[in-house]
A = this chain, B = another copy of it.
Amino acid sequence: MSEHTRPVGDFARLDVDRVRRRGYPEAIFCEGKTVSQVAAIAGALNDDYPTLFTRISQEQAEAVLGVLPDALYDEVARMVVWPPAEPEVSGVSVLVVCAGSSDLPVAREAMLTARYLGRSVELLVDVGVAGIHRLLEHEQKLHDAGVIIVAAGMDGALPSVVGGLVSAPVVAVPTSVGYGAGAGGVAPLLTMLNSCAPGVGVVNIDNGYGAGHLAAQIAAR
List residues of chain A with CB under 8 Å of any chain B CB: 2, 4-5, 10-13, 15, 17-18, 21-24, 26-27, 29, 31-33, 37, 99-102, 104, 125-134, 136-137, 154-157, 160-161, 163-169, 171, 174, 176-207, 209-210, 213-214, 217-218, 220-221
Are the C-beta atoms of A129 and B199 separated by less than 8 Å? no
Q: How far is it, in angstroms, between the C-alpha of A163 and the C-alpha of B130 when the chains are bound?
A: 7
| Residue from B184, B187, B201, B204 in contact with A171 in the complex, judged by beta carbons closer than 8 Å | B201
Are the C-beta atoms of A169 and B131 separated by less than 8 Å? no
Minimum Cβ distance to chain B for residue A137 (Å): 5
Question: What is the chain B residue whose CB lies nearest that of A103?
Answer: B32
Are the C-beta atoms of B165 and A11 separated by less than 8 Å? no
What are 25 A-B contacts with C-beta separation under 8 Å? Answer: A11-B126, A15-B131, A22-B167, A23-B167, A24-B167, A26-B131, A29-B100, A33-B102, A99-B196, A130-B196, A131-B164, A154-B194, A155-B156, A155-B157, A155-B191, A181-B186, A181-B189, A181-B205, A182-B190, A190-B190, A198-B210, A199-B214, A200-B210, A202-B203, A221-B221
Minimum Cβ distance to chain B for residue A63 (Å): 15
Are the C-beta atoms of A198 and B27 separated by less than 8 Å? yes
Are the C-beta atoms of B204 and A131 separated by less than 8 Å? no
Q: A33-B102, A104-B11 are in contact. Are A194 and B167 (CB under 8 A)?
A: no
Q: A191-B187, A197-B130 are in contact. Are A180 and B209 (CB under 8 A)?
A: no
Cβ–Cβ < 8 Å partners of A167 in chain B? 22-24, 217, 220
Minimum Cβ distance to chain B for residue A36 (Å): 12
Are the C-beta atoms of B125 and A13 separated by less than 8 Å? yes
Are the C-beta atoms of A4 and B134 separated by less than 8 Å? yes
Cβ–Cβ < 8 Å partners of A210 in chain B? 198, 200
Are the C-beta atoms of B12 and A101 separated by less than 8 Å? yes
Cβ–Cβ < 8 Å partners of A11 in chain B? 101, 104, 125-126
Are the C-beta atoms of B180 and A22 separated by less than 8 Å? no
